[in-house]
Amino acid sequence: GVMYINLREWLKQRLTEKFFDLLSDESIIKKLKYPDQDILNLMFLHHAKILPRKYNCIYTIKSEFEEKNSEYYTRFINDDTVFIHYTGITKPWHDWANYASADYFRNIYNISPWRNIPYKKAVKKHEYKEKYKHLLYQKKFLDGVFTAIKYNVMKG
């Protein structure tokens, strides 16, 4: 998510130290699905202000092929959007995320100091699973089939 933090207050309250104390407590960690995010949510439970959606526009690139609509993203991302929070396995920095919804990231990436770093390739099993589905949807059938085979070999 997106956090807008009062750094003076953060330092005064020693929140980094408190965060890492909680993060190192095994009795707490084992109950949490996303420990870092969940701990921050617990720490700020009654001390957070929810920002308007335009500052945390949540979008899942997987929606591109699930909805079978290349313009689906425009229901969420528009001219008022300030920050896009890409959720799910596929992110715009993956080499298979060839969608208009990823262009917002990619346009900035292409003028950034990191522009010469290649997009991330699938490495883990769950990434191969997502990648082959996207490739097939994008009508890149040969790459999609080879990626599906790689996924099935990894799956065992």
Assign 32 a pLDDT band (cuts: 50, 70, 90).
very high
Strands (E), 57-156: 57-60, 84-87
- pTM as predicted: 0.81
CA distance 106 to 114: 11
Bridge partners, residue 125, by sequence: none
Q: Is the pLDDT of residue 17 over 90?
A: yes
Structure tokens at 82: 């300030």
Q: Is the pLDDT of residue 69 over 90?
A: no
Structure tokens at 18: 């408190």
Assign 142 a pLDDT band (cuts: 50, 70, 90).
very high
- pLDDT of the residue at 4: 86
| pLDDT > 90 in the chain, percent | 88
In this predicted model, which residue has the larger pLDDT, 132 or 49? 132
- What average pLDDT does this structure show over 116-126? 98
- What average pLDDT does this structure show over 11-33? 95
Is residue 1 within 8 A of residue 53, CB to CB? The reply is no
Can you tell me whether residue 114 is helix, strand or coil? coil
Place of tokens 């085979």: 149
Q: Is the pLDDT of residue 70 over 80?
A: yes
- What average pLDDT does this structure show over 134-150? 97
